[in-house]
Amino acid sequence: MSPDHLLAMYDSQLRGTAEMADAPEVTTIGPLLAATFPARRRAFVTYPPFSMDGPELDHLVETVVARYSADPRVDSIKWKTRDHDPLPHLLDRLRHHGFTVDGSETVLAGDVDAAIAADPGVPPHYSVEQAVTEGAIRQAENLAGRVFQDPPELIRQQENELIERWHSAPESFEMWAVRDDEGRVVCSGRIDFIDGTDFAGLWGGACDADHRGRGLYRTLVAQRARPAQDRGKRFIQVDCSEYSQPILQRAGLTPITSVTAATWHRG
């Protein structure tokens, strides 16, 4: 399937309401969808494709900041932008209103079947398993946090949020891990099954530096693609760094756009 076709499906199926599945509160602000997570003290802004510029765009950003500045339950806002959207000055306007712009990630998408076919197999001295207990899920998520060099308090928060989701909607995702011959988690990643779409999403893929170059990450891509295939999903999608992009392309995924997050913090 061509990149343009994959991008059109990404825009129509994975943006907007599909990103709000776990949000306890969702508000429409013009063309935007704003999710509020009081327990996490943060908000998330996204939207289907639209075009806007000039004073109208500036006013839209002002409205979002004003809304959450007045909400004492929210300490931060994450605004997810897509580089192919016709919003040429959005990042400048976000910076002007106090957002910090993070680095960009590449969005890749591809056939589930191709990802499975690219499985190099599990090398000797390693085993692949689905994390099905709280302890195993925490180990897998902790490995990802350490690989991404997140601070310990953030790692713990992310573990807790994932466990909360495991209790409330266990069918919505699966966590997978690779263990070495001493039983340590050395590679991990999650797959989300996105209701009402042809897609499953890969998230949090990480591999310990001492175990890279052995095909573990690509094996974990294929392993996560199998339950997606079982559930009738045709495609997988992932936002990735420059380090994992070559591996994902070898697994049959194609770059279709880039995403850049901007974050506002109270005070």
Per-residue model confidence as pLDDT tens digits over 130-182: 999 999 999 999 999 999 999 999 999 999 999 999 999 999 999 999 999 99
pLDDT of residue 57: 96
Helix-, strand-, coil-residue percentages of the chain, each rounded to 5: 40, 30, 30
β-pairing verdict for 100-111 and 126-131: unpaired
Distances (CA, A) of 52 to 95, 144, 151, 241: 17, 37, 37, 28
Answering whether pTM is above 0.95, one says no
What single DSSP character describes residue 96?
H
Residues of the chain with pLDDT below 50 are: none
Number of other CB atoms surrounding residue 31 within 10 Å: 13
User: Which residues are CB-neighbours of 55 under 8 A, at least 6 positions away?
Assistant: none
Looking at residue 122, its pLDDT comes to 96
